[in-house]
Amino acid sequence: MPKTSKRFTALLETIEDRDYTPNEALELVKANANAKFDETIEAHVRLGIDPKYTDQQLRTTVALPRGTGQTIRIAVIARGEKVAEAKAAGADLAGDDDLVEAIAGGQMDFDLLIATPDMMPKVAKLGRVLGPRGLMPNPKAGTVATDLAAAINEFKAGKLEFRADRSGIVHVRFGKASFTVEALLENLKALQETIDRQKPSGAKGRYWRSLYLTSTMGPSVPVDFTALQDIKLEG
């Protein structure tokens, strides 16, 4: 068993055995994010789905209104004028066959890969490299696009792709410890609404099972997800 540090043990003692309201949980997670860097705040949602069935899979995107607080490096695989369009829109890497070959050779210094539809047959050959890292472009995720400028701007501004893992759990980062509670709540609410809106057709019974919030180095805090669903934010 790994040893628990005195710091982490002390933080655990601040968490009561109950479901917190969203605001209470965010305040506690922020207070416990006392590492020497700006910790990332994450949501972990257990859903009543079994992703081994195609009609119970969840893969989509969420546009976080307050952004992620992180800078992401975007690579684009396109052809001809689209390469220049991608670079002009802020892509960190852009190319055609040369970039495909570079990625096949191990160049992975990017966080997101966008491809135009005409390049997908070549990108498909990179499945063994991109798949395990969750970087394979997908139309449902908005990473197969013809309007490269719009796609790049959306992801730079805070659009995130997420999916339920094999256990039916969604893991999503939605801000930084330096964010205000109000900003974090706005992002969390956008995530909750997206999960509800994208409920798989095959999901049966109770959809939401549990919601926990945590920071990079802090303990998780259980949240009353029905209270989150009931919140109505202005605007």
- Where does the pLDDT of residue 235 fall: very low under 50, low under 70, confident under 90, or very high at 90 and above? low
Helices and strands: H and E segment counts in the chain:
9, 9
- Where does the pLDDT of residue 11 fall: very low under 50, low under 70, confident under 90, or very high at 90 and above? confident
Q: Count of residues for the chain?
A: 235
Over residues 178-214, the pLDDT tens digits come to 999 999 999 999 999 999 999 999 998 999 999 999 9
- Where does the pLDDT of residue 23 fall: very low under 50, low under 70, confident under 90, or very high at 90 and above? very high
166: left (phi over 0), alpha (psi -120 to 50) or beta: alpha
CB atoms within 10 A of CB 135: 20
Given a cut of 80, whether residue 104 has pLDDT beyond it is yes
Nearest C-alpha neighbor of 89 from the set 75, 71, 100: 75
Question: How far apart, in whole angstroms, are the C-alpha atoms of residue 182 and residue 82?
Answer: 39
pTM above 0.75, yes or no: yes
- Where does the pLDDT of residue 2 fall: very low under 50, low under 70, confident under 90, or very high at 90 and above? low
**Ranges of H-type helices in the chain:** 6-12, 22-32, 81-88, 97-104, 120-123, 127-130, 148-157, 181-197, 225-230
Residue 115 vs residues 22, 59, 181: alpha-carbon distances, Å: 37, 18, 36
- Count of CA atoms in the C-beta half-sphere (13 A) of 5: 7
Given a cut of 80, whether residue 229 has pLDDT beyond it is yes
User: Are 24 and 186 contacting, i.e. CB atoms less than 8 angstroms apart?
Assistant: no
Q: Residue 6, exposed/middle/buried by CB under 10 A (0-12, 13-18, 19+)?
A: exposed
